[in-house]
Amino acid sequence: MRVVNLADAGDIAIREAAALLVEGFAEHWPEAWPDLDAARRSVDEALSGGRICRAAVGDDGNVLGWSAAEPLYNGNVWELTVLVVRPTLQRQGIGRALVTDMEERVRERGGLTIWLGSDDEDDMTSLAGVDLFPDPLEHLARIKDRKGHPFEFYRKMGFSIAGVLPDANGLGKPDIFLAKSVARR
Ligand SMILES: CC(C)(COP(=O)(O)OP(=O)(O)OC[C@H]1O[C@@H](n2cnc3c(N)ncnc32)[C@H](O)[C@@H]1OP(=O)(O)O)[C@@H](O)C(=O)NCCC(=O)NCCS
């Protein structure tokens, strides 16, 4: 497996990347990319100027997973807008390879922090289905995973939980923020 620019991987790879968004988010985030048209729009956006868009490609050229990021705060922060691995290939190190690669790509552009929001729309954590006010940070300090929410994956990648936006996706459906420093200190 190697990680390459999705833009250089060809039209078939770009179509596979769109299909992966639908497939990869169907179980826990079905509203995120309900169909190929919506997914293709997001892929095109990820490939547009100034962003980073990388694909993990197998020996046969198939896309195994992909990632995208866009600059915020004058490029000090890069938001990881997409990270997905083919469901049948998860837990084999592909997500780790994509995150490690993204850290390098952000660092070489002078970025200091990678940031992302990871929604909980499917009762995946202890933050779902409860009123997080008046002290969201207290709930956040005691967060527990219920069914494989990706926040634990990001923590293994060295990310810190950096916040929560209550009710971001409807009552009791928060967005969980994670961030990691890639600064050379
Ligand atoms: C999250 C995702 C990208 C992880 O990719 P992956 O290829 O399965 O991850 P890796 O195999 O590289 O895992 C790296 C480590 O994290 C662990 N891990 C992976 N997913 C995990 C999860 N959901 N919960 C807890 N740990 C997890 C692995 O076991 C491994 O641990 P280890 O280093 O102790 O062996 C993948 O599950 C995915 O595409 N999910 C659906 C889409 C999604 O949630 N994207 C993120 C949106 S914010």
At residue 185 the predicted structure's pLDDT band, cuts being 50, 70 and 90, is confident
Burial class (CB in 10 A: 0-12, 13-18, 19+), 47: middle
Does the CB atom of residue 91 touch ligand 1 within 6 A? yes
Pairing of strands 63-72, 52-57: antiparallel
Ligand 1 atom at minimal distance to the Cα of residue 84: 39
Mean pLDDT, to the nearest integer, of 64-86? 98
**What is the model's pLDDT at position 108?**
97
- pLDDT at residue number 32: 93
Q: Report the candidate in 120, 125, 113 with the shortest Cα–Cα distance to residue 179.
A: 113
Question: Ligand 1 in contact with 95 (CB < 6 A)?
Answer: yes
Is the C-beta atom of 85 inside 6 A of ligand 1?
Answer: yes
Distance in angstroms (rounded) separating the CA atoms of residues 149 and 62? 26
Tens digit of pLDDT for each residue in 88-102? 999 999 999 999 999
pTM for this entry? 0.97
CA-nearest residue for atom 10, ligand 1, is 93
Residue of 61, 48, 103 lying closest to 78 (CA atoms): 103
Strand 77-85, strand 113-119: pairing: parallel
d(CA 103, CA 145): 25
Q: Hey, whose CA ends up nearest to atom 43 of ligand 1?
A: 84
Q: What is the mean pLDDT of residues 63-69?
A: 98
Q: Does the beta carbon of 178 sit less than 6 angstroms from any atom of ligand 1?
A: no
Cα of 90 from ligand 1 centre, angstroms: 7
For 111, residues 6+ apart whose C-beta sits below 8 A from its C-beta are 71, 75, 76, 77, 78, 182
Kindly report, residue by residue over 22-53, the tens digit of the pLDDT: 999 999 999 999 999 999 999 999 999 899 99
Task: List, for residues 121-133, the tens digit of each pLDDT value.
Answer: 999 999 999 999 9
The closest residue, in CA terms, to atom 12 on ligand 1 is 93
**Mutation pick for ligand 1 pocket among 20, 90, 147, 161 (CB with most ligand atoms within 8 Å):** 90
Q: Which pLDDT score, from 0 to 100, does residue 51 have?
A: 98
In the block, residue with structure tokens 């390879």 = 97
